[in-house]
A and B are shown apart, each in its own frame.
Chain A
Amino acid sequence: MNSRSARQILLCRRPGGEDDSDPAMKRAMAVAAREVALAEEFEKQSAFDRACASDLETISLDENSRAQIEEGARAFAAKHGGARARIGKHATFAVGIGFLLLVGLLVWMFLGRAGTFPDEAVKIAITGAKATPTQFDPVEEKADALQDWFMLKGFDNFRVPPEFAQFDVVGVRIFTVDNEPVAQVAVPDNLMYFYCFPSQPLGIKVVPEGSWRITESDRSVLAIREESGMCFLVAFRGSKKDMKSLLENAGALR
């Protein structure tokens, strides 16, 4: 590790020393110990940071804020303990996922006739359709409110077209295809799956950007579009006509 790399790491060190057991931080501190200029800068930074952190501790909590925090802790504790049990109780969720799995099976059976539809997108739909209900985390959100959830799962660029933002979602999960992460969303309306995934690593190109490509297989239909390096895929039981109707009603076809 050179001096510059060590400095970059040391700049992000927490003043209480909580990061000091981290191997990279240890190496950076060792480099600083050998280099006078870096050592002086680090010492100055540490003293300043400790003083500032100490000042921030003086922010007082009044009665109301204490009560609010304790109430939050109780709510989190209740949810934390009951989250797994609730999955089993969520009858709507289970039934919805069951229907979606049927749709997924149909999609899987007839994807061989997908024509010019991107092969990798077909592969994603096949893999997604094999998911069991227990592989989904239950949610009750609009589709556009899931960005944080996916971000914290390690999927940083989840997005849905604005026209699909207000669909209710009952289940979410992330799986991988060719080592690339794919976000999957279960939507009870029209019994659909939404998928979001990066286009380039999977070799998918849908041109012109923002346009839809649709394929139909028996009673199932898929539609895909690409924007800013991310693909959005919709799958449900129906025909091309149904898909066009959905896209028109959502305002996605212009």
Chain B
Amino acid sequence: MNDLREEWVFLETAWRFAFLLTGCREGTSKVFKDSVDELLRHPHPGDLDRVKQLLFAVVRRRSLNFPARCELQGTPAKLHELSEPGRSALALLYLDALPAADILRVLNIDERLLPETIDKARSALREKRAIIS
């Protein structure tokens, strides 16, 4: 995506986020398209940060409703197997999608719970990676 302007790179990140949650390209394609369409109906005059947050929130909501099947391999596949909301939190962190303060809003969880949520998910992923390595 070298020709994608820097301000829109988050769309590529959102696509990867959807892939990690749905586990398949078919689901990712549908979730991404529907999410973009939904977001285009929202007002977001001149505030890209708000657009980013909302896109990740919508992508997550739609992805969790999609019947998942896993075409992923390696670490992405192991991350896909984690439970929510730790899976989404860790995916957003590793994709460098958003800072922690914004991840809170996307996941709609209490500020105090995010470190614990990430810690548990990270430990679970470490165990799963240890099995495949």
A141 interface contact, C-beta 8 A: yes
Q: Which chain A residues numbered 1 to 51 have a C-beta less than 8 Å away from chain B?
A: 7-9, 11-12, 14-16, 18-19, 22, 45, 48-49, 51
The interface residues of chain A lying within 8 Å CB-to-CB of B114 are: 12
Neighbour of A64 across the interface among B29, B39, B129, CB < 8 A: B29
| B11/A14 in contact, CB under 8 A | no
Interface membership of A109, Cβ < 8 A: no
Contacts of A72 in B (CB 8 A): 8, 11, 32, 36
A168 to chain B, nearest CB (A): 12
- A55, B75: Cβ atoms closer than 8 Å: yes
Q: Given A45-B122, A56-B75, A137-B43, answer yes or no on A16-B96 (Cβ-Cβ < 8 Å).
A: yes
Interface residues of B (CB under 8 A from A): 1, 3-5, 8, 11-12, 15-16, 19-20, 25, 28-29, 32-33, 36, 39-46, 48, 50-51, 53-54, 57-58, 72, 74-76, 79, 90-91, 93-96, 99-100, 103, 105, 108, 114-116, 118-119, 122, 125-126, 129
The secondary-structure label for the interface of chain B is: helix
Q: How many A-B residue pairs have CB under 8 A?
A: 145
- Residues 63-103 of A contacting B (Cβ, < 8 Å): 64-66, 68-70, 72-73, 75-77, 79-80, 83-84, 87
Residues of A within 8 A of B (CB): 7-9, 11-12, 14-16, 18-19, 22, 45, 48-49, 51-53, 55-56, 58-59, 61-62, 64-66, 68-70, 72-73, 75-77, 79-80, 83-84, 87, 137-141, 148-149, 151-153, 156, 172
Complex contacts, A73 vs chain B, CB 8 Å: 4-5, 8, 11
A70 to B12, CA, bound (A): 9
Chain A residue contacts of B72, Cβ below 8 A: 59
19 contacting pairs across A/B (C-beta < 8 A): A11-B122, A12-B100, A12-B103, A14-B93, A14-B99, A52-B125, A53-B94, A55-B74, A55-B76, A56-B75, A62-B25, A73-B4, A73-B8, A76-B51, A79-B40, A80-B44, A151-B108, A152-B53, A153-B50
Which residues on B sit within 8 Å (CB–CB) of A87? Answer: 45
- Name the CB-closest residue of A to B33: A68
Query: Which chain A residues lie closer than 8 Å to B43 at the CB level?
Result: 83, 137-139, 149, 172
Contact yes or no, A65 B45, CB < 8 A: no
| Nearest residue, chain A, Cβ from B53 | A152
Q: In the complex, are the beta carbons of B57 and A76 less than 8 A apart?
A: no
